[in-house]
Amino acid sequence: MRYLPLGGLAAVMLAGHPAPAATILVDPTLSQETPASVRSLTAAVDRAREIRKDAPDEPIAIELVSGVHRVDRIISLTRAESGVPGTPFVIRGAADGSTSVLGSVAAPTRPVAEADLAAAPDVAPALLGKALVVDLKDLGLPGDRKLRPRGAYVGTPDSAFELVQNGRRFRPARWPDEGYWSEATATADPDGYRVTVPPEHAAAWARDPNTLLAGYFVSDWAYETVPILPGEPDGDSLRIGRFQAPLDLREDMPFRIAAVNAIAALDQPGEYYLDAAADRAIFLPLDPGAPVEVAVTKSIFAVNGSNNLLIEKLELANTLGDVVAFTGGDDITLRDCGIRNTGSRGVMVEGSRRLTVERCVVADTAETGITVYSGDRPSLGRGDVVIANSAVVRFGQDSPTYRPGVELHGVGNTLRGSYLAHGPHSAVVLGGNDHRVENNEIEDVLRETNDAGAIYMGRDWTMRGNVITGNYLHDIGWGAPEQAFVTGVYFDDQFSGVELTRNVFVRVHRAVVLGGGRDHLIKNNVFLWTRRPAIHFDDRGLNWQKDMTAGGQLRQNLDAMPYATEPWKSRYPELVNILDDELGVPKGNRIIGNAAFGKPLLEFTDPAIRSYLTEEGNIELPADTPPVKSDDDGELVNNVIKLNDTLKGLSLDLAERRRIMQDMIYFKLLD
Phi, psi of 444, deg, nearest 5: 50, 55
User: For the residues of 580-606, what is the DSSP string, one character each?
Assistant: GS-TT---SEEEES-EEESS-SEEESS
Do 188 and 114 share a domain, yes or no? no
Residues 113 and 220 in one domain: no
619: in domain: yes
Pick from 522, 527, 490: nearest CA to 508: 527
pLDDT at residue 642 in the model: 52
Domain membership of residue 168 (yes or no) is: yes
Contact assessment for residue 652 and residue 419, using Cβ atoms and an 8 Å cutoff: yes
CA 277 and chain centroid, separation: 32
Q: What is the pLDDT of residues 277-298, one digit of tens each?
A: 999 999 999 999 999 999 999 9
Specify the pTM: 0.90
Task: With respect to residue 503, please indicate whether it lies within any of the assigned structural domains.
Answer: yes
Q: 283 and 237 share a domain?
A: no
Burial of 277 (0-12, 13-18, 19+ CB in 10 A): exposed
The set of residues, in sequence order, having a beta carbon less than 8 Å from that of 528 and lying 6+ positions away, is 504, 505, 506, 507, 597, 598, 664, 665
pLDDT of amino acid 139: 86
Q: How many structural domains is the chain composed of?
A: 3
**pLDDT(561) > 80:** yes
Asked, for residue 56, whether it belongs to a domain, the answer is: no
Instruction: Judge if 239 and 110 occupy the same domain.
Output: no
CA-wise closest residue to 331 among 368, 282, 374: 374
Q: What is the C-alpha separation between 555 and 518, in angstroms, rounded?
A: 15
Co-location of 582 and 617 in the same domain = yes
E-state strands within 45-122: 60-64, 67-70, 75-77, 89-92, 99-102, 104-107, 110-111
Which residue range forms the structural domain that includes residue 221? 175-260
* Last residue in a domain, options 260, 280, 304: 260
Averaged pLDDT for residues 159-168: 96
Do 118 and 221 belong to one domain? no
Q: Are residues 128 and 252 in the same domain?
A: no
Query: Where does the pLDDT of residue 252 fall: very low under 50, low under 70, confident under 90, or very high at 90 and above?
Result: low
Grouping H, G, I as helix, E, B as strand and the rest as coil, residue 644 is helix
Please say if the pLDDT value at position 53 is more than 90. no
| 613-667 residue pLDDT tens | 999 989 887 665 444 444 444 454 455 545 455 544 444 444 444 444 444 333 3
Same domain assignment for residues 121 and 239: no
Name the pairing type of β-strands 174-175 and 255-260: antiparallel
Q: Are residues 144 and 212 in the same domain?
A: no
517 falls within a domain: yes
pLDDT, tens digit, 9 for 90 and up, residues 404-447: 999 999 999 999 999 999 999 999 999 999 999 999 989 999 99
Q: Has residue 62 been placed in a domain?
A: no
The pLDDT value recorded for residue 667 is: 33
Task: Give yes or no: residues 207 and 110 share one domain.
Answer: no
DSSP E strand boundaries for 497-618: 499-501, 504-508, 510-515, 521-523, 526-528, 535-538, 589-592, 595-597, 602-604, 613-616
Residue 318 belongs to what H/E stretch? Answer: strand 315-319
The whole-angstrom separation of Cα 453 and Cα 491 is 8
**What are the tens digits of pLDDT across the range 451-485?**
999 999 999 999 999 999 989 898 999 878 887 89
Give me the residues paired with residue 64 across strands. Answer: 26
Q: Is residue 349 part of a domain?
A: no
Q: What is the pLDDT of residue 144?
A: 82
Report pLDDT for 623: 63
508 and 592 share one domain? yes
Q: Note the helical H segments in 2-159.
A: 5-8, 41-54, 124-127
Residues 135 and 246 in one domain: no
Q: Assess whether pLDDT exceeds 70 at residue 127.
A: yes
DSSP 234: B
Residue 320 identity: L
Domain boundary residue, one of 241, 260, 279:
260
The answer as to whether 375 is a domain residue is: no
